[in-house]
Amino acid sequence: MEGSDEFMKYRSPLVSRYASKEMAYNFSDRKKFTTWRKLWIYLAKAEKALGLPISEAQVVEMEGHAEDIDFAMAADEERKLRHDVMAHVHTFAHCCPAAAPIIHLGATSCYVGDNTLARVLDRLANFAEKYADLPTLGYTHYQPAQLTTVGKRACLWLQDLAMDMRNLQRARDDLRFRGVKGTTGTQASFLQLFQGDHDKVEDLDRMVTEMAGFKKSYLVTGQTYSRKVDIDSLSSLASLGATIHKICTDIRLLANLKEIEEPFEKEQIGSSAMPYKRNPMRAERCCSLARHLMALLSNPMQTASVQWLERTLDDSANRSRISLPESFLTADIILSTLQNVTEGLVVYPKVIERHIRHELPFMATENIIMAMVKAGGNRQDCHEKIRVLSQQAAAVVKQEGGDNDLLTRVQADPYFSPILSHLDTILDPKTFIGRAPQQVARFLSEEVRPMLEPYKTKMDVKIELEL
């Protein structure tokens, strides 16, 4: 087979096609291994401050080579040693010969191991506010039900996203640093380094935790932090995946009704076989990847359940190389795609109005009966009249494929003459939407806008997608 080596290997589309460059970098080898080196530097600094024989020159040497990674050498070392952390210890030591004896001193290999969502909330909040009082058919069981408004429906999406925002913030705020705990979590190696001084071991743990940017470390660990932490983090992401799947499924259903469409580029092709089609490909992409995100949650749950005693190594390949990076990459992709969708949602009020006109006569029968009673009619007589006319109109719709002509039948029946002059008012769709506009206004002002306040300087970024 001929061709570039680049095209001879599988490349994850999460990185090569969909993910933002920022999120892809977060899980890149360079980010990972420079983070390891920073952690070794933090450890050396704290050990030096607490009296271990580490010189300033050794620390400076390490800091000067923090970004200087020979990836080819590291790969060769890993092939020989079969240990990724020690391979990078050796590689770092090669460019820091003076500091080589103190790199990773006393540590175990496990020592190193919201803006887009806010913008989606912002775009949907603006959409909900714009269409707060535009009546539309509500659906239960995907059958026409009472009217709601386009903006109120968007608030249902917003409410789920707001829950996800709170869940993600809680998961982030609950994260702690593993800390400096040693091979089985007892800190025995560090206690030996500091000649039995428990206070210095405590200070070392605290100092390194603060250097790494954490407020707290876990007080007890095995060789690793509890893998339940991964379940907690990825549960929030999987829940976000469920929300986005529901939102994009709704958009796909509404696109079928031609009431709402996602943005569509001028040169975009909807179908190779049917040139008239405008497939909701962005929403479909979100649904496809959201299913993957939700499925990834089973990995950390199974991993946490099989961690024998203080630790076993059957977590590493699954956890750090697949389930963690793929969860964050996938969440990044579907959020970016959803932001693009919400920035260009198209609403077709005339189509929505036509659908209302088709269903509203049946929904309005109770209003017509009440109006007749107020005009002096008998409720039972009126109910029977409406029942007969409704069944006749339903037969036209279902058996003949015609339009709903119930109102024409009502207008033609002399019995209803007392209310014909204000029939249009009785049938105004806005009298059927209840408090939907008021609910939208209160929800946005009391829950959504305050949640977005910390992100107000980040709202101008727009998303351009590779289709």
Q: What tokens does 176 get?
A: 């702690």
Residue 233 in contact with residue 191, Cβ under 8 Å? no
Place of tokens 């959803």: 338
Q: What tokens does 219 get?
A: 């007080």
Q: What tokens does 104 get?
A: 């990773």
CB atoms within 10 A of CB 216: 13
- The residues near 360 (Cβ < 8 Å, ≥ 6 apart) are 147, 427, 429, 432
| Catalytic annotation present for 141 | yes
Q: Which residues are bridge partners to 89 per DSSP? A: none
- Amino acid identity of 130? K
- Tell me how far apart the alpha carbons of residues 165 and 178 are, in angstroms, rounded to a whole number: 25
Residue 92 in contact with residue 37, Cβ under 8 Å? yes
Residue 248 in contact with residue 291, Cβ under 8 Å? no
| Phi, psi for residue 21 in degrees, rounded to 5 | -65, -30
For residue 294, give the nearest of 342, 254, 337, 246 by alpha carbon: 246
Give the long-range contacts of residues 22-27, CB within 8 A, separation 24 or more. Answer: 22/332, 23/328, 23/329, 23/332, 24/329, 26/328, 27/324, 27/325, 27/328, 27/329
Pick the catalytic residue: 16, 55, 271, 288?
Answer: 271
Q: Which residues are bridge partners to 261 per DSSP? A: 346
- Which residue numbers are catalytic? 141, 271
